Structure 1
Amino acid sequence: MASTSKRKVDDRDSEDISCYVHNVSEIITAATSKTRYFYGNVQTNHDKVVRFVSFSPEKQSAMKSAESTKSPVKISNCVFTPKGDSVEITVRKNSQISVVKKLDFERITKMEDAAKLVTLQAIATANTMCSIKAKVVSISTTTEVNTRYGQRQVQKVTVVDDTKSMTLALWQQHVDKLRHKCYYSIENVISTYFQSELQLSTTSKTSFKPIEEFDIVEVDDSVDNVIKSVGTVISCALKIISKCVSCNKSLDIDTSSAIVRCLHCSSKQKVSQTRLTRQLNLQLDSNQKVQKFVVFNEVLNTFILKYSLKTFNNDELENFILNANELELKHNSNSDVVLNLDVNDKLTVQTQECI
C-alpha cells in the first residue's frame, strides 16, 4: 500500500506519497497562458497508477531520474485533487523528491503491463490504465477546449464492445484517427470522470490497430442511430487546412516562407511536409429547417471520386454542391458530422457551368 501522511501547507491539505515514477513528459509550454509544466504517472501500489502534473519545471530532472533508475521515491507536499473516485496529484515547487530503499510492492516493468486488456464493463474507477477492443459507433466534431494546460483539440467518440458502450475522448494527435463503424484494438487509454460520467481518454502512449469484426452488445438508438437529412444547400465553405506534423493542430501558413513554426507546440517544419486536410462546412435547408453540418476529408474524398470531381478547384467544387438540386446526408442523430454525402437528384445546372 502507498505510504502517506497529511500536513497543512498554504491552507491546503497536502500529502507525502511513496511510489514509482513512470512516463515523465518533456516540459510543455501552454499555448495561451505560456505556463510551463510536465506530467506523468506514479505507481502507488502493485497495480494502481495515478496521473501527476507539475507546474514547476525544475522538478522534472528529479522525476526523470527516478524513472530512468527505476528507484522508489518519496514525494512530499503533493496536492491531491479529487477526480471522481480517484485523484490527480500535483507536484509542487516546495515538494521534495527523495529516493527510498524499498516499497512493499514491485515496480511495473512496463507501463503496458498496467494497461491490460479489459472489457468496458470492467472499467469501474477513474485513473485506470487499460486497453480495449471495441467498435466505433459515433464520432463528434473536433472542438477546441480550454484546459489548465492551454487550448487543446478534442474529439468525442462512442465505442462499444460485448458488454457496454462508453465515451472515448481523442486528444490532440489522436483526433480523426478512428473511423465510424470500424473495429479497433486500442491500447493505453485511461479512465477519467467528466461531468460525473466515467469515460476514457487517450494518453501519450495510446495506439490504435484495426481488427476483425466481433459480436458487440446492442446499443441504444441514441448512440448508433444513423439518420438521413435531405435538402438544399444554402451555403458552403471548403477549407484547406495545414496541420502540424507534431501536435496535429492547425498551422498559420505564410505563403512567402518555406518554413513554418507551430504556435501551439513551437516545432518548426517545412511547409511542403505539413499534413493537408480538407473540411467542408455547409448549411442544409431540410423541410424548412436549417441545419449546419461538417464533412471531413475522408467522406469528402469519397464524394469527389464518386462524381468525378478530382479536377475541380475549391470554387468549382463549392459551386457543384450549391447547384445540386438536393443533397442527401447521413449522420448520427446526435452529431453534425456527415458520414456519407450524395447528390439526391440531377443537377439543376449542367456540370460544365461550374467549370
Structure 2
Amino acid sequence: MITFLVAGRNDGYGINLGKRTAISLNFFASLCRDPEDEILYVDCNSPKQDCTLVEAIADTLTPECRRRLKAYRVTGEQMKAAIGETPLFFSDELSRNVGIRRSDPMNPWLLSTNCDIVLQPLGRRPLHELLQRLPPRFYVCPRIGIPPAQWQMLDRINVRQISDFCDEVIRRGARFPPEKEQPWLRFAGVGDFQLAPREQWFAICGCEEGMKLWGHSDANNSRRLNLLNGGGRTPDLADSLRVLHLDHNLTGGSAHQNTLPNNDWQYWVEDVISPVSRNRENWGLADTELPVIRLDSAGEIDPALILKTQRRPRNLIYTLRLQLKARLWKQAGAAANWLEKKLGK
C-alpha cells in the first residue's frame, strides 16, 4: 500500500541523530499493514570508514522495522558523478530519487518524509484505511514540533509508549503553523510530509537533482506535484492525522539556513511552469547497480561477515607502509624500555 521514503547520512547531524532516527523508523514500521509496505532509507555520502546510519543503529530498531527496512548506499564518488560539484556533503534530491526508482511498484502510495517524523492517525485508525479512501493525488500536512527535552525521554523501541505520547500531545492541543500565502505550498516544512501516488513521482521525473545548494527542494516538489494535479489549493490531511517533528536544533528553524548557500527561490520555485523535472533520463542512478542492504534479526549477525564487510581494501604499497610503521614503533618501544632500565639503575 505505501512506501515510506527517507534519506540521511551517518554524520551526527542535529541533536541525538541515532535516537530520533530509531524513533521515527520504528514508528513508521508500526503503521505498516500490507505485506508490500516498506521503508526505504537512502544513505548518501557517509564517511567511507563508517557503515550506514541504519546499520549503526540496527540494534535499536524493532524486529518489524528491520524486516520492513531496505537501505541503499550512495558513495561520494557516485554523487559527484551524478550531479557534479557541490559545496554540500549530501544530496537530498539524488537520494530521494534513488529511493523512488527502487520503490516497490506494488505500493500505490509513496510518502517522502524524514527520519525525525512521527505520524499519528487520529483515533489510532489504521493508516491504510485512510489511504484506501483517499483520491489519488498529492497531499501535504502541517507539522507540530516536539522539543528535544521531551522526545529524548521516550523509549525508542517502545512504539506503544511513543503512540501514547503522541495521543497526549494531540489531546492537550497544539498550534498549527501559519499557512503560507502560496496555495500550492500551504505550510513551512512541507518536506516532512509529501504524499502522492507512486506513479506521480515518476510522472514528474523525481526531485530536481540540479538543486545542488541548500533548501527549497520540498517547495519545488510541491510546486510541480500541484501543477501535475491541476493547480489550485493543495489539500492537507490535518483532519485525519498529525505530523509530529522531533526538533533537533536548539535555535529553531533549519540548522543550515544561515550557513550554507541556498538554491535560488525564483528560479527553482516561482518560475516553474512544468511539472516535469529537468533531470536526465537516468535520474536516481537508474543505470547504477546499488545492492540493497537488509538488516538481519538481532543476534543473528555473523561476526566473520562483519569483519569481511567492514575491512578496508588495501594495496601492496599500503600494506608495506603499515608493516614499516609497525616495525618502527616496535623498535622505538624497545629502545624506550632499554633507556628506562638504564636510567632506573
TM range, smaller chain: under 0.3
**TM superposition score normalised by structure 1:** 0.22
Q: Larger % of strand: which?
A: 1
Q: Larger % of helix: which?
A: 2
- Higher relative contact order, structure no. (Cα contacts within 8 Å, ≥ 6 residues apart): 2
**TM superposition score normalised by structure 2:** 0.23
